[in-house]
Amino acid sequence: MPLIVTGSIGIDTVHTPHGTADAVLGGSCTYFSAAASFFTPVRMVAAVGGDFHEGHRAVLARFPNVSVEGIELRRDSKTFAWGGRYSEDMNSRETLYTHLGVLTEAPPTPPASYRDSRFVFLANTHPAVQRDLLNHFPDHELAVADTMDLWIDTAKDDLRTLLRRVDGIVLNDSEARLLTGKRNNITAGRTILDMGPTFAVIKKGEHGCILIHRDGVAALPAYPAEQVVDPTGAGDSFAGGMMGHIASRAGAPSPRMKHGAGHPVASFDTIQRSLASGTVIASFTIESFSLDRMARLTKDELERRMLEFSRIVRV
């Protein structure tokens, strides 16, 4: 089922204990799309400026399941740019700068060929841009949003309006705390459900994630990674794997449903299963800078790690 995403395409400069990556391809929409493309075709809707060059495009071209027709080039504008520095243990990071560039301009328009999109992901960007994409797809089957501290701090009202319209939200534990004022993740998750969504996925970095759904609670550890070079994009890749999994299974008969009915897209069971795909694809993203590792990833490697992960979490 067609999956569409809007968010940032970024030019990132990242410092980790393993080195520095200067002006490399990043952005929430980019990491999401690359990750989702291992599970289902995905359509990007985002804007870039005149500083977005061939080298950046060439990275995207390494993901054949990603449609770039919806990337709008604005020659006189600047691409979103972000700089970050990770701590020695890479469990925390400091944002060095955020140059919003095209993110403060009019939202990009999805091409007519994307009209049949049914799964909508609103990756990290201004909530007004997220709302605009959602407005184009009133008949969607599932809409899920991501957000972060900057938007919780600067656009809370827009975000609260958006939350009333989406089925789910993916955010990390500090953001859940900031949004709700609750320290406990389950309480924070339940408070978010009171704001509108059916489910919230709270990510805890190397400690995995928690699903708080109207029909229950689930938790999954992260893949125990030995090689962590750059955690940037782990959260977006997680969301990409999760949404890619859901969109790829939609319409397929569900073993738990009678009469060959399809997977209910926002059910507790479907969302819980999708967390593993998100976790495993994110574990590849962090093995190198930018999208380098995902660009080299084969389906075989992905399947092998999925199997390994299912053995790791067996109880």
Binding residues (CB under 6 A) for ligand AMP: these are 8, 10, 12, 26-28, 82, 98, 124-125, 148, 150, 232-236
Convert 52-86 to b/e letters by CB count within 10 Å (16 or more is b). Answer: beeebeebbeebeebbeebbbebeebbbbbbbbeb
Closer to ligand AMP by CB, 124 or 267: give it: 124
- Of 258, 223, 251, 252, nearest to 237 by C-alpha is 223
Please give the Cα distance from 216 to 203 (Å, whole number): 17
Return d(Cα 90, Cα 76) in angstroms, integer. Answer: 36
End-to-end CA gap in the chain: 32
Minimal distance in Å, beta carbon 103 to ligand AMP? 7
Phi, psi of 254 (to 5 degrees): -95, 130
In the complex, least distance from residue 229 CB atom to ligand AMP, rounded to whole angstroms: 13
150 vs 186, beta carbon nearer ligand AMP: 150
Would you give the distance in Å from CA 107 to the centre of its chain? Answer: 19
**In what helix (H) or strand (E) does residue 86 lie, and over which residues does it extend?**
strand 80-86
CB of 233 to ligand AMP, least distance (A): 5
Given the complex with ligand AMP, which of 133 and 265 has the nearer CB atom? Answer: 133
**Is the CB of 38 or the CB of 82 nearer to ligand AMP?**
82
In whole angstroms, the minimum distance from the beta carbon of 25 to ligand AMP comes to 8
Least distance from C-beta 267 to ligand AMP, angstroms?
26
Q: Which is nearer to ligand AMP, 29 or 246 (CB)?
A: 29
